[in-house]
Structure 1
Amino acid sequence: MGEVVTTLGIIGVTQARPRHADELPILFLHGVGSDKSVWQPQIEEFGHRQHVIAADYPGYGESDFRPDATRDDYAAAMLALLDTLEIERAHICGLSLGGVIAIAMAAKAPDRIASLILADTFAVHPDGQAIHDRSITAAQEMGMAALAEARVDALLGKEPPPGLRDKVILTMAQIPLAAYRLGARAVWLADQRERAAAIFAPTLIVCGKEDAITPPALSDELAGLIPHARSAFISGAGHLANAERPAAFNRLLHEHLETVD
């Protein structure tokens, strides 16, 4: 784990960097109610074969807060992180808000995107404004710890792995309210249909079949927007597909990387 200076301040990162690795790096981007720790199953799986990075957005985890940061500011921060790490091109894997940021990165710097893996996300959410308003009101009235307790079961499928429910609650409870407010605005109010349609990087779209937050229909819609995108759905997984069913998620990611590398 380390801290990397970027143009937007200190960005907290977790990295695995093999001594000899020919494959391009992977940057993992977390959701609005999470932080970089959600990607531990993927860091452990892929970190021995290529440089992998999981990063916190400004205000999350170990990253410095930036007042009024937008989704495009988050994207700029992640591109600046790649600059600091001297990474010219990378695979970008984002879940939920992370997928929204990945699409924004592809719009801002398409030549730096080797491929995209967009998990449990969307171009535009039909209930985005209502979800945003409910989330912010609840966070302000209840506090993040109580919100995490109230929201966790909606995030997960029917049979999450042992310990994951408690981990999700703990992680979400530690997010500062100000950072959560900016993250919620960045994800739920996004409309990136034009950006998605302009993506030319190889793209894998993944969604948990039990995802009630960003249901499979939104992945189907996203796949219809992105030229030549491929879709896959994971049985038994809710909104946090990579953590709920890591073996299935990792297998899909392996297959995708083998196809595009």
Structure 2
Amino acid sequence: MEKEAIIFLHGMIGNQHAFKREIDRLEEQYHCIAYDYYDPADLESKEPLVLDFFIEQLYRQFRKANIEKAHLCSLSYGCIVAAAFTERYPDMVISLTFVGGYCCQAPSQFYTNVVTLLEEKSLFEYNVWVKRCARLLNPNKEHIPEDSESIFIKYTLQLDPVLFETALRVHLDFDSRTVLSKIRVPILWVMGEYDDLYKATLPDLKTLNPYIEYAEIMGAGHVAHVHQHEQFLSVFHKYLQGMSLQVIA
């Protein structure tokens, strides 16, 4: 029997290793695929790095792997790409899993922070502005034993500044609620207990889309699958197997 495929999408920064531990555990049962948004080979095309670029880049992953349908598991910004892709190519998606997903354009501290950062960019040297981005978009949490701001800064400074700013501006244009309300495939929405900044962007998810199942991972922040790997994998694996999902309490 042919394996079902899972395509993993990383966040606005980072790379194809964002879900490495999950892939290591699942690859015997599933055809697992991960890729980099900012692959130099893709960037050579000179296509504008707008959301349409990311959608078609994902489409090419399907064609490259010769698969017709796949589960999409995405982190943070990758959830925007996955949702937009599913709106355009609904028949190619079996299910969606959002880790640290959020709604763009929702009145929230997160949206205010994005607008503020883009408006003030010209006032700071780039390195200083990136540090401000880290503090406002991925703040350290006293409950999580990691320096998330330093991680954000490290990976952001590896990107071309224009690429990062262009990707950030997608938040102003993407209408999450309208797109999500149209999707008719199962969605597992996973958030960390301490991911307050991004959880504040979420509406009543079941009202928005009855296909959404919500799970909250205790003791985790924005990258819940990293902070609590076993908890996340248990929920994700059960979901993939079509078992009834019980929210971790």
Q: TM-score range by the shorter chain?
A: 0.7 to 0.9
Query: For the structure 1 residues 97 and 163, does the alpha-carbon distance in structure 2 shift closer, same or farther, using more than 3 Å as the test?
Result: closer
Which secondary structure does the structure 1 equivalent of 2:163 belong to? Answer: helix
- Deviation string for 1:205-228 (max 9, x for gaps)? 11112113312x434534431222
Match of 1:27 in 2: 7
> Are the counterparts in 1 of residues 131 and 149 from structure 2 also a CA contact under 8 Å?
no
Q: TM-score, normalised by structure 2?
A: 0.81
Quick check: 1:52 aligned with 2:32?
A: yes
Report how far residue 27 of structure 1 moved. Answer: 0.9
1:224 to 207, 210, 214: 207
> Are the counterparts in 1 of residues 83 and 179 from structure 2 also a CA contact under 8 Å?
yes
- Deviation string for 1:73-109 (max 9, x for gaps)? 2112101221121111000111221111111011000
Report how far residue 113 of structure 1 moved. Answer: 0.3
Amino acid at match of 2:24: E
2:54 to 56, 66, 74: 74
Report how far residue 25 of structure 1 moved. Answer: 1.0
> Are the counterparts in 1 of residues 76 and 99 from structure 2 also a CA contact under 8 Å?
yes
1:200 to 169, 172, 184: 184
Q: Percent identity?
A: 23
2:75 to 72, 75, 95: 95
Partners in 2 of 1:145 and 1:115 — Cα distance? 39
Quick check: 1:248 aligned with 2:231?
A: yes
Match of 1:174 in 2: 158
Moved more, 180-189 or 197-206: 180-189
Q: TM-score, normalised by structure 1?
A: 0.78
Partners in 2 of 1:148 and 1:56 — Cα distance? 23
Structure 1 alignment gaps of length 5 or more: 1-20
Amino acid at match of 2:239: H
> Are the counterparts in 1 of residues 139 and 149 from structure 2 also a CA contact under 8 Å?
no
Amino acid at match of 1:103: A
Partners in 2 of 1:156 and 1:87 — Cα distance? 39
Query: For the structure 1 residues 168 and 38, does the alpha-carbon distance in structure 2 shift closer, same or farther, using more than 3 Å as the test?
Result: farther
1:117 to 90, 93, 97: 97
Amino acid at match of 1:43: I
Query: For the structure 1 residues 226 and 140, does the alpha-carbon distance in structure 2 shift closer, same or farther, using more than 3 Å as the test?
Result: farther
Amino acid at match of 1:68: P
> Are the counterparts in 2 of residues 145 and 173 from structure 1 also a CA contact under 8 Å?
no
> What number of residue pairs does the alignment pair up?
237
> Are the counterparts in 2 of residues 206 and 219 from structure 1 also a CA contact under 8 Å?
no
Partners in 2 of 1:143 and 1:48 — Cα distance? 43
1:64 to 42, 67, 86: 42
* Aligned-residue RMSD, C-alpha: 2.8
Partners in 2 of 1:79 and 1:232 — Cα distance? 28
Query: For the structure 1 residues 100 and 130, does the alpha-carbon distance in structure 2 shift closer, same or farther, using more than 3 Å as the test?
Result: same
Partners in 2 of 1:253 and 1:182 — Cα distance? 31
- Deviation string for 1:135-186 (max 9, x for gaps)? 3445983435872587269445434356877554432331221111121112
Query: For the structure 1 residues 244 and 143, does the alpha-carbon distance in structure 2 shift closer, same or farther, using more than 3 Å as the test?
Result: farther
Partners in 2 of 1:22 and 1:168 — Cα distance? 38
Which secondary structure does the structure 2 equivalent of 1:87 belong to? Answer: coil
